[in-house]
Amino acid sequence: MLTLKGKVALVTGGSRGIGAAIVKKLADEGASVAFTFISSSEKAEAIVQELTGKGTKALAIKADSGSKNDIENAVAEVVSKFGTLDILVNSAGIIVMGSIENADQMADQFDRQIDINVRAVATAIRTASRYMGEGGRIITIGSVAGTRVGTATMTDYGASKAAAAAYTRGYAWDLGSKGITVNIVQPGPIATDMNPEETELADFLRQKNALKRFGTVHEVAALVNFLAGPDAGFITGATFDIDGGSLA
């Protein structure tokens, strides 16, 4: 049975990595899927062609998650094209690392990190929830760094992901009366093009989790798919760590 048949989903940052895996998984479960991208036009179009070739309705929207207007317009376009919105996945995010000594010189980069990792999450939830009814699902991709930073130079990134988790808990209360669930998935080390398994940092991260390996984008997508589906109706305001035991 297709668990998401008839549903419409929007995934921000859905053209590569974890976001692309989520787009494809939700589509495989029957959802019509729109996703935003900012620079990977060829990858975005390839995903659309792949999904439409399987008979799935798919839409790629060029939008900068650092822009409030772009986010609001993306949500409006989804509703205009598909008639409704049932599932929002906030997958867009960036990581900016820097020492406390260099914070002043990196102020613009840190500000953009807040715009994308925090403000965009709040804007997308506020906007999307206006169109959602009973059974709506909102899932944000956070990071285990939002719970435990664990190393130097990650302070601002960890703070941005902790804020996303706090928004999740708060909006779960704000939207509970509408029957909309709001949850956050916090990955640990996940193998992607931007986070390859064959680096010195990867070896360090691998030794920091109980399973001694990197997770896959498909494992993250499977968890998101569950939270988007009908069996997760009584789960809200919750944090799901998918980290190989990094926080254990």
How big is the CA angle at 24 (ends 183 and 222), to the nearest 5 degrees? Answer: 45
Share of the chain above pLDDT 90, in %: 92
Question: What 3-state class would DSSP assign to 76?
Answer: helix
User: Which of the residue ranges 204-208, 218-222, 242-246 would you say has the lowest mean pLDDT?
Assistant: 204-208
Closest listed residue to residue 145, CA positions, set 122, 117, 121, 171: 117
Report the distance separating Cα 244 and Cα 169, nearest Å: 23
Alpha helices in the chain (DSSP H): 17-28, 41-53, 68-82, 107-114, 120-129, 155-176, 200-207, 217-228
Q: What phi, psi does 147 have (nearest 5°)?
A: -105, -45
Eight-state DSSP code of residue 199: S
Amino acid identity, position 23: V
pLDDT band at 202 (very low <50, low <70, confident <90, very high): confident
* Longest CA–CA separation in the chain, Å: 55
38-74, pLDDT tens digit by residue? 998 999 999 999 999 999 999 999 999 999 999 999 9
Q: Rounded to whole angstroms, how far apart are CA atoms 30 and 191?
A: 26
Domains of the chain, earliest start first: 8-242 (3.40.50.720)
* Residue numbers annotated as active site: 157
pLDDT digits (tens, 9 = 90+) for 8-49: 999 999 999 999 999 999 999 999 999 999 998 999 999 999
